Amino acid sequence: MVVLLTLLSVHYIDPFNAVPYNVFKIPPNQQDTLFQAETKRLDELLASINRDVLPDYRNTFTKHPSYFRFKHGEMFLKFLLNLINPVLKRDAYYAKSKFVFIRDIYNLYWNDNKNSTRHFIFNVDLNDPVKAFTRKLKVYLTVSNINKYLGDNGEFSDESIASEDITLQYIGTDNPLTFFTVAPKSSEILDEKNLDNYYRIRNTLFLLDPFVTTGKEMRITDSMKVKFDQTLKQKEQEQKELEKKGFCFNSTTLTATNQSECVDSGGVWDYPPADNMECPFYMANQNYSNNFGGIREEKCELPRNMQIIGYRNYSLNPEYLPLCYNCRNKRTDQGSLGYCCEEQSNKALYPQLTTPDYAFVGDSQARSRYADVFAVRGLSVD
């Protein structure tokens, strides 16, 4: 009887002696693919110039609207290229490479601190036509003396940012697969801002699912599980409702089915606007009474020459800049029309304008009704 009780107690105390299935069949010397090898090489070279690591920007930084072009994007790209070119070309593998950025910066986030420094985090696409590859990079840089480059309205002025005020903090490849980790969560397990971290715990017993055990590493109460399940179902339903309305445009992949996949692939996730106020150029021309720029056939109306992407967004390609009336410079051969809309935001250059004098298709009749108002201010209706 004593022997039987002893055996039962031994097996009861340690019932989880699990061995991973097929653990000995994994090839010990698996070789990297060309993609993996080049990615590792790039990361190793770029790591040599990194000063810092990426902060938790998604929860603390402000997202720059994708439909507004960042004024100093080209300057950032030029700064980065001058910085990383000599670093990469020191490696014999890239000695003859000709690195270029093939598109503007995207997925831009920013944040200010108390030291008059603005922090920027964004993606860029680095292309090497010699090696025939393109890599998505994540960049973290800071601009000091930021107030020197901001106008009274808090927006960037036309003044170029001095290179000595720009500091690269981090740059590396941004392949989502390389950042997948399973680790213990030090803070409260249920965090509504990071629901995907709920089961981020160290599974030392290699169990297929998180089970409640006596180990300190896996302490999940029944009330926590119930609360999590309720919250998760609510979030899943909200996400489903959101995804029903949206579509992915200008993506590098045809398989993006939700906003996260779309944005990560460099695309634009968009949906039909619910009302005119969701359109970026609705009543943007306030020099006369009008309602141009609202919803037209489920899409937002844009100023002339602009190219729409999806329902509310538009191309940032310089070929599709908006046309404005009453231009002093950059005129076309059509009356006072020209590509001066950005200039017209400067009150010192255009004090007689309330806003840029955006041109819309079919606005001639509406503008002609206010010919006297335009004339008093020395402006043209066409």
CA distances from 90 to 236, 237, 325 (A): 48, 51, 51
Backbone angles phi, psi at 269, to 5 degrees: -90, 120
Lowest mean pLDDT among 55-59, 212-216, 241-245: 212-216
Q: How many CB atoms lie within 10 A of CB 263?
A: 19
Instruction: Report the amino acid identity of residue 371.
Output: A
- DSSP annotation of 175 reads -
240, pLDDT greater than 80: no
Residue 298, pLDDT > 80, answer yes
Measured distance CA(81)–CA(327) in Å, rounded: 35
Where exactly are the structural domains of the chain?
34-179, 246-382
Compute the Cα dihedral for 88, 93, 98, 101 and give only its sign: negative
Q: How far apart are CA 63 and CA 122, in angstroms?
A: 10
Position 80 pLDDT exceeds 90? yes
Query: What is the token pair recorded at 51?
Result: 């000063």
Topology of the domain comprising 34-179: Nuclear Transport Factor 2; Chain: A, (3.10.450)
Residue 177 has pLDDT above 60, yes or no: no
When pLDDT is averaged across residues 361-370 and rounded to a whole number, the result is 92
**Spatial distance between the Cα atoms of 247 and 19, rounded to a whole number of angstroms:** 44
Locate 228 and state its tokens.
Answer: 């999590």
pTM: predicted TM-score of the whole model, two decimal places: 0.43
Confidence of residue 180 (pLDDT cuts 50, 70, 90): very low
Cα 31 to the center of its chain, rounded Å: 33
Q: Concatenate the DSSP letters of all residues of 246-291 into one string.
A: -EEES-S-S---SHHHHHHTT-EEE---SSGGGSTTTT---SSS--
Residue 234's H or E segment, with its range, is helix 222-245
Check residue 170 and give its pLDDT.
Answer: 95
Q: Is the pLDDT of residue 207 over 50?
A: no
Most confident among 8-22, 195-209, 227-241, 308-322 (mean pLDDT): 308-322
Give CA–CA dist 51/171, Å, rounded.
9
- Helical (H) or strand (E) element with 309: strand 308-309
Q: Which two tokens stand for residue 229?
A: 């399940």
Element of type H or E holding 296: strand 295-296
- What does the pLDDT read at residue 339? 93
d(CA 308, CA 118): 30
Lowest mean pLDDT among 96-110, 167-181, 200-214, 363-377: 200-214
Q: What is the mean pLDDT of residues 34-58?
A: 87
Q: What is the pLDDT of residue 32?
A: 58
Greater pLDDT, 108 or 33: 108
Question: Cβ distance 145 to 101 under 8 Å?
Answer: no
The token pair at 338 is 């020209």
Q: What is the pLDDT of residues 135-167, one digit of tens each?
A: 899 999 999 999 888 877 778 877 789 989 999
Diameter of the chain by CA atoms?
A: 110
For residue 193, give the amino acid letter: K
pLDDT score of 224 more than 90 = no
- pLDDT at 374 > cutoff 80: yes
- Alpha carbon 205 to its chain's center: 38
Mean pLDDT of the chain: 78
CA 318, distance to chain mean position in Å, is 20
Q: For residues 142 and 187, which has the higher predicted lDDT (pLDDT)?
A: 142
Among 30-44, 234-248, 308-322, 329-343, whose mean pLDDT is lowest?
234-248
What is the β-pairing status of strands 295-296 and 308-309? unpaired
Cα–Cα dist 82/168, whole Å: 12
The string of pLDDT tens digits covering residues 1-24 is 444 444 444 444 444 444 444 444
Residue 241: pLDDT band (50, 70, 90) is low
Report the amino acid identity of residue 174.
Answer: D
How many of the other CB atoms lie within 10 Å of CB of 216?
Answer: 6
53: three-class secondary structure by DSSP: coil
